[in-house]
Structure 1
Amino acid sequence: MSPDERQKAFDDAVAFVYKAYPQMDGRGQLYDHWAECNYYQQHVINLADSFMEEHRASKSFRATWKFCELVNQSQRFLYETNLMNDLKKLCEINTIAVDTLDEADRRDDLKASVLSHQANLYESIGKVDQAIEWNQQAYQIRLNQKPPKYHLISSFENNLGFCYNTANKHDTAFEYFKKAEATWHGQGLPCPVVILKNMARGLLYLKRLDEARALLKTCIDGFRNEDTLNWAMVAYSAYFALGLIDRREGKFESAEATFIEAQNLWLKGDLKELHPFNGACMYKTGAVCLDQGKVEAAIKHLRDSIKVTEKHMKLMPVEHARSLFKLSEALTQDPQYESEAEGFRDKAEKNLRERDPSATDFGSEEPYDLLIPIFWR
């Protein structure tokens, strides 16, 4: 085929897959469409590979906005399902593709979206400073757009908030959540529940536990009153955070039930069992079982957690280290497991040092928690 024929064939294939691939809902999420996204995902990857092959062969080969938007939708799916290597690859390709677009408005929109997904990726794997930098770049793009797209400005204020939470800068995080809320109120609109639940979690890390609990319960009611239950957000932030509050207040039995409820909500459907959040739910359940002296139950939950965290050990060593550390604590309660406990403790320290070579404190949950993304900390 001639170069023009190759361009047309590529654009036609993109248009076909673009029409079939699920679109993000009004919340910018794809949680209810994972099975469909997964079905079409290989087609998106093949198109992305084809684009790079053609672009390397001829700099005149260009992307269409449909291609960039299709890859953008796919990026969201990959982030939600924690397929980080594929996400990194598609973000890099989309960055190149976006630069070939002629339409300035669409180019800016898509550039901000790619930066957002790159930030999500890096926050998830513990490189939060880079995540904040990319979110700030995208935030400036949104602030400079005319007319202002307030819902997108608010989205980046929210993103910066949870990234600063992960960076353990909780006062700054809360300032961004308040900005996100004010952006909506400035338009005479109520703040979306998805932002309020992040604000509630921010209150938790500011040690304002009563306020956090009250707002989380309001958010759960808000989620349950929506036309379609946002099960992921209810599990991720609402029930999981309530469990954290219960544990801090010494309500271990209630915390155990709440972490189990978070996990049950999360596991509605396919593709979720190996997600780090599922591992975190099992970890927290095991931890509060140990708080109650339920050693056998703690060991079971923590062993189950390790089966998940070891799948992500290369990119997320601290999650695995945390589960190993807590399992070693549980095993030391039974003399028959003394040798096994020591081995798990050594592995935990080794994995923690992979993320933080200067680490010297290995004897509590805190040094592990401080390096884990806020959604499953």
Structure 2
Amino acid sequence: MLELDAPASYSTIPYQRNHGFYGREDQLRELNEAFQDQSSSPEIRTVALWGAGGIGKSQVALEYAHQRCNSGTSVVLWISSETEGEVAKSIREAAEKLQLDGYSETNTQEKNRHLVLQWLQTTTLTILETKWLIIFDNVEDDRVLIDNQPKVGQGDVLITCRSKPLAESLAMFPIEVTKFSIDESTALIFQILNRPAANTEEIQAADALAEQLGGLALAIDIITKNIKTSRRFNSIAEFLPFYEQNRRALGKRHRRGIRDITYSKDLDTVWETAFATIDSNINPNANPDAVRLMDVLCFLAPEAIPQWLFQGNEENIPEHWQFLTDDERFEKAKLELLDLSLIKINVETGLISIHRLVQQAYFDQMTAEARLSAFHVICALLRKAFPDREGETHLFKRWAICEQLHQHVQALCKVYAWMKDNELAPRSSTYQTPIRDDIWYMLELQQFIGAESLIKSLLLDIDTDSLERARMNRILMGLFERTGRSVRALECAKIEFDIFVSLDGPEENDLANAYSDIALDYLNKATDIALSHPEPGCYRAFNIDRFLRNRGRTKMQLKDFDGALDDFAKAEYYQAKVHGEDSHYDGETKHERAKIAALQMKLEEAATLNDEAMRLVREGKPTHASVSASHYRQGCVRLLAGKYDDALQELHKAHAICQLNEPTRGNAGESARVMWRMAQIYEHDGKVDEARTFLDVAEKIRNDLLATGDYAQVEDVEDSWDCLVGLLYR
């Protein structure tokens, strides 16, 4: 047996030192501190690096192993531990490298294991700084450690594994290897390319690539080396579209030139290993519930997945998905994926996350049947979880729930589009319902551009004479109205109206809503339908308060102020029944009352009502268009009262909110109206240049919008500016 009297190097590290190794200072520091820890005095200290496949655990271990070799550790043994065959091969190499007495090429695996363990457990090192280090890389099964780890001796044991519970059970010091941040990923990309960031465009392209690769070290290494070795792309920006179209093929290591001498695996190999444990074709003991949980996770956004989303019920979940209704089975499936580091769970929030590349890779290998099954289930789960607007006309009080689910509904839309392009997407009302409710949430958040695009894509798959098409056109009408496009809004209202009127027996509330969206005579009919039902049916089954507010607004436009105020009073009565006192809708009616008071030159009353309206509509949404409208109207009241400084202050506040909302609103109509008013004040104050500048910008915006044909064109000057703004925000 070998005795070490002086430092000597005996190493079975399979890879050269990676001179392009990047970052990981925290993990290397933790490794050093853990192996030098003096809080206890075991003969062997065990540390485990854990994290998802491809995250960079082996590279950290490789760097640490070479550092230990360079700092005087005499023996460093590397045991590849994914399979029994790899373990046997690594132990044979260790026995051969150490020149152990009794070693022979004909030895059995057990004989070599006995020789190596005996040496590790009995060898006395005369220079303590040279104690041995053994690394068990990619441990999938704790039996590898039970059978092959020395129990005593003067050395250290480093383990790499995917499973956090495995790391915690095997090691005194478990250390997580986390994904790189965007900044770290971008810096690594440029380091691999061996060139500095050329310009802002190239940095932005690198950031975009880094985001798609999700901070996964192996993916960054492989994909960036594809750029480096290719003669086709002169920049990352040129490469990005190619990657998006060919991401799966690019996950393999480049076969041209010298093979990678610091790590041999590619992404396909990592995914095969990661998914093998839950694949019943490979593992007869695989848990089918864990497979199906992975299936549905592929249809959601990869981050911040609420566990309560998976609380299904027997009515909306097929039989082979019933584990979602059984807490114990769901916990087992979740913990299995957690053990394999296929998912993570935030200990503070309980939210599930899955790495985007793991998600993509798993989705790629799913069968068409599995995709369709998971699609139907996640549609049902989202439909059940996402707040609907049954009996209400807004989601504001439930925005917190909507916010948790919004990104997941949007992710489902993207997967659905892919499935449709690949002739896999079913026609499903369960899909349309959560999308429709999420679109309404987007309208409340004023994300009009995204909502409009989504609505138009959905309409392509909806029958032209169906109830769903009528309902979707009602939402599109609301979007057009809120952005001032009243001509387009009326077109949608007519489509909705024609469908509901033509169909036998549509729900009365649908029909009443269709009447409410057309004109005054039909508004009367909508109100009559609702009021034909005694309380509480008239306000629980119908949007009677909305019908009355709409009719009141129309009467106000026709200068029937008494009729309008009467409708607003009735609306307030029903608002309190449905939404409680001091709701957002009370703010709406006070806003309308303030407009009437201003038109009647009751300026103090108008100012008071505007203040009350602003207080109610800004609660929880200080940058909403209704808030900017209240500031605008207050500015107009102050202007009528000759308080020009106060008016300008209110208009500045309105303008700031309008500008903030323009990127998602899609036009600057609200800003133009405010600037027109500001120009009037500047002109009054003798600031001719400022007045001219503001008016020129405002008139250009108005003329450009009117040229689209989407906006009402009227003779009255003030009305011509109001027509650029939705009726709700005038």
Q: Normalising by structure 1, report the TM-score.
A: 0.85
Describe the superposition over 1:150-189 as per-residue Cα deviations: whole angstroms up to 9, x where unpaired.
11100111122xxxxxxxxxxxx21121121222345566
Tell me which residue corresponds to 2:449.
85
Report the RMSD for the aligned CA atoms in angstroms: 2.7
1:74-108 per-position Cα deviation (integer Å, ceiling 9, x unaligned): 11111222211121122123224445xxxx9xx93
The letter for the 1-side match of 2:553 is R
Change in 2 beyond 3 A, CA 1:227/1:302: closer
CA separation of 1:76/1:137 partners in 2, compared to 1, >3 Å: closer, same or farther?
same
Query: Which of 306, 318, 324 pairs up with 2:675?
Result: 324
Instruction: Please give the secondary structure, in 2, of the residue aligned with 1:54.
Output: helix
Measured after TM superposition, the shift of residue 364 of structure 1 is 4.7
- Looking at structure 2, the residues matched to 331 and 227 of structure 1 have their Cα atoms a distance apart, in angstroms, of 42
**Distance in 1 (alpha carbons) for counterparts of 2:713 and 2:472:** 37
1:231 aligns to 2:589 (yes or no)? no
Specify which of 463, 471, 483 is matched with residue 125 of structure 1.
Answer: 483
Q: 1:254 to 1:118 in 2, by over 3 A?
A: same
Report if the CA contact (8 A) 1:286-1:301 is conserved.
yes
Deviates more, 1:306-315 or 1:78-87: 306-315
Q: Aligned with 1:61: secondary structure?
A: coil
**What is residue 197 of structure 1 aligned with on the other side?**
549
Residue among 693, 701, 715 paired with 1:351: 701
Deviation per residue, 1:182-228 (Å, 9 max, x gap): 22345566472221121112211111112222332332233234463
Q: Which residue of 1 aligns with 2:327?
A: none
**Distance in structure 2 (CA, Å) of the matches to 1:144 and 1:90:** 26
Alignment of 1:10-159 (within 5 A): 10-58=375-423, 60-99=424-463, 108-159=466-517
AA aligned to 1:37 is C
CA positional deviation for 1:72:
0.9
User: Who is 1:255 aligned against?
Assistant: 606
Tell me the SS of whatever aligns to 2:517.
helix
| CA gap 1:334/1:20 in 2 versus in 1, 3 angstroms | same
Matched with 1:165 is none
Bigger RCO of structures 1 and 2 (CA < 8 A, at least 6 apart): 1
Distance 1:17 1:48 in 2: 12
SS of the equivalent of 2:494 reads helix
CA contact 1:331–1:341 (8 Å) conserved in 2 = yes
Decide whether aligned partners of structure 1 residues 76 and 133 sit closer, same or farther in structure 2, where only a CA change above 3 A counts.
same
Q: Which amino acid aligns with 1:134?
A: C
Between 1:83-92 and 1:219-228, the stretch displaced more is 219-228
**Matching residue within 289, 300, 321 for 2:649:** 300
Aligned to 2:570: 218
Change in 2 beyond 3 A, CA 1:234/1:305: same
Partner of 2:525: 179
2:631 aligns with 282
Q: Distance in 1 between matches of 2:581 and 2:430?
A: 29
Pairing partner for 2:721 from 365, 368, 377: 368
- TM-score normalised per structure 2: 0.46
Letter in 2 for 1:20: A
Determine which of 291, 310, 318 is the counterpart of 2:659: 310
Alignment-derived partner of residue 199 in structure 2: none
Unpaired runs of 5+ in structure 2? 1-365
Is residue 51–residue 63 contact of structure 1 (8 Å, CA) maintained in 2? no
Post-superposition offset of 1:71: 0.3
> What is the alpha-carbon distance in structure 1 between the residues aligned to residue 516 and residue 582 of structure 2?
17
Kept in 2, the 8 Å contact 1:95–1:111? The answer is yes
Structure-2 separation of matches of 1:128 and 1:368: 13
Assess if the C-alpha contact under 8 Å between 1:240 and 1:258 holds in 2. yes
The aligned residue for residue 340 of structure 1 is 690
Task: Determine which structure has the larger strand proportion and give its number.
Answer: 2
Once structures 1 and 2 are overlaid, which stretch shifts more, 282-291 or 216-225? 216-225
Q: Residue deviations 1:17-72, cap 9 Å, x none?
A: 333221213034312212321221111111001101110011x4214322110001
8 Å contact kept, 2:462–2:469: yes
Change (3 A) 1:229 1:52: farther
Distance 1:360 1:3 in 2: 52
Q: What letter corresponds to residue 420 of structure 2 in structure 1?
A: H
Tell me the distance in 1 between the aligned counterparts of 2:716 and 2:504.
52
Separation in 1, partners of 2:531, 2:477? 26
Give 1:2's match in structure 2, choosing from 367, 380, 399.
367
In 2, Cα distance between the equivalents of 1:123 and 1:175?
A: 19
* Over 6 Å off, 4+ runs: 358-363
| Structure 1 stretch displaced more, 182-191 or 16-25 | 182-191
Give the % identical residues: 21
Unaligned runs of 5+ in 1: 161-172
Q: Which piece of structure 1 moves more, 20-29 or 189-198?
A: 189-198
192-201 or 46-55, which deviates more: 192-201
SS at match of 2:684: coil
Q: How far, CA to CA, are the matches of 1:216 and 1:265 in structure 2?
A: 16
Aligned to 1:168: none
Give the CA deviation at 1:245.
Answer: 0.4
CA shift for structure 1 position 289: 0.8
Tell me, what secondary structure is at the counterpart of 1:198?
helix
The residue number in structure 2 matching 1:267 is 618
Change (3 A) 1:210 1:32: same
CA shift in 2, pair 1:209/1:256, >3 Å: same
Cα drift, residue 341 of structure 1: 2.6
Q: Does the 8 Å contact 1:349/1:362 carry over to 2?
A: no
Once the two structures are superposed, what CA deviation does each residue of 1:319-343 show, in whole Å capped at 9, x if it has no partner? 11110011121233334x4432322
Distance 1:361 1:186 in 2: 37
CA contact (8 A) 2:634 2:650 kept: yes
Preserved contact between residue 639 and residue 647 of structure 2 (Cα < 8 Å): yes
- Report the CA distance shift for 1:86/1:360 in structure 2 as closer, same or farther (over 3 A): closer
CA distance in 1, matches of 2:661, 2:371: 39
1:211 and 1:130 map into 2 onto residues whose CA distance is 28
